[in-house]
Amino acid sequence: MRESENCSHNCGECGSDCAERKAPQSLLEEPNAASHVKKVIGIVSGKGGVGKSLVTSLLASAMQKKGYRCAILDADITGPSIPRMFGIRKKAVSDEKGILPAETKDGVKIMSVNLLLEHDTDPVIWRGPLIAGMVKQFWSDVCWGDVDYMFVDMPPGTGDVPLTVFQSLPVDGIVVVTSPQELVGMIVGKAVKMAEMLQIPVLGIVENMAYFECPSCHEKHFIFGDSHVKQSAEEYGIGMTAQIPVDSGLAAACDRGSIADFEADWLAELAEGIEPGCGGT
């Protein structure tokens, strides 16, 4: 029997020195020629509705205010919300080099499928391969220019699109977003273990809707249950954690498109830690 008939085509786990042996092939997509992105950070969650886009926006704004050139790649193709949070209404345009990202008033560059649709409410009814292909195009066809930190707002879970981002983009680390419910602790584990399997560092965990602070007495009320963020971080050996409270002012800022103007220090330590966590710029 010829060797090729027993071949699993997984050269990385095979010790045979056959004629058909191939070196492991990189799945990384080439960036646009006009793009120079130093660090890529994925914002992930094991389930939807925990505030991934919120954390992405707050982190990008925080790093921009620290003097870095930041960008957001909205990989949540079927549920894009980043442009609205920043009050961006104009559609994306292109030139001979590729697609030009939109910019917030403080200079954060953004690309989202909503910048390409005729109406913001038009649904994207695509199967997984098309969605994954669009994410790759946001990397390879968009002229990002000089970017110190790119934050990728991923769809929830461990399916096609997160896997595409992890394999196609040079991701330097991820931030996991969760909420206080105990069930979410199990879901966080799935996201963390996926990153570990793909050898991507987990930089921190953010617990959104962690508590409500009374505006009168400033006492914290854990209305969605006790916090598990420290416990989860210790379990998975993650050094940095942060908590975002339930805050009506924050919700209003997102609705009116002024998230960049919102002042809060909830993610300040995480933003500080991202720099050495990604090896600096």
Nearest of 141, 153, 151, 167 to residue 35 by alpha carbon: 141
As a whole number of angstroms, the distance between CA 207 and CA 176 comes to 9
**Whole-number pLDDT of residue 99:** 96
**Whole-number pLDDT of residue 278:** 60
Q: Please give the DSSP secondary-structure letter assigned to residue 6.
A: G
Q: What is the mean pLDDT of residues 124-151?
A: 94
Residues in CB range of 248: below 8 A, 6 or more apart: none
pLDDT in tens, 34-60: 999 999 999 998 888 889 999 999 999
Q: What is the mean pLDDT of residues 165-176?
A: 94
As a whole number of angstroms, the distance between CA 280 and CA 274 comes to 8
pLDDT at 121 over 90: no
As a whole number of angstroms, the distance between CA 231 and CA 57 comes to 26
Predicted confidence band of residue 224 (pLDDT cuts 50, 70, 90): confident
Point out the least confidently predicted range of 4-8, 46-50, 261-265: 4-8
Specify whether the CB–CB gap between 64 and 148 falls below 8 A. no
Nearest of 34, 41, 277, 27 to residue 148 by alpha carbon: 41
25 or 192, higher pLDDT: 192
Predicted confidence band of residue 2 (pLDDT cuts 50, 70, 90): very low
- H/E element holding 43? strand 35-44
Question: Residue 186 CA to chain centroid, in angstroms?
Answer: 20
Rounded percentage of the chain residues whose pLDDT exceeds 90: 59
Specify whether the CB–CB gap between 203 and 278 falls below 8 A. yes
- H/E element holding 103? strand 102-103
CA angle 126, 130, 133 (to 5 degrees): 145
**Whole-number pLDDT of residue 186:** 78
Residues in CB range of 196: below 8 A, 6 or more apart: 202
Specify whether the CB–CB gap between 165 and 135 falls below 8 A. yes
Q: Please give the DSSP secondary-structure letter assigned to residue 122.
A: -
- H/E element holding 202? strand 202-208
The alpha-carbon radius of gyration of the chain (Å, integer) is 20
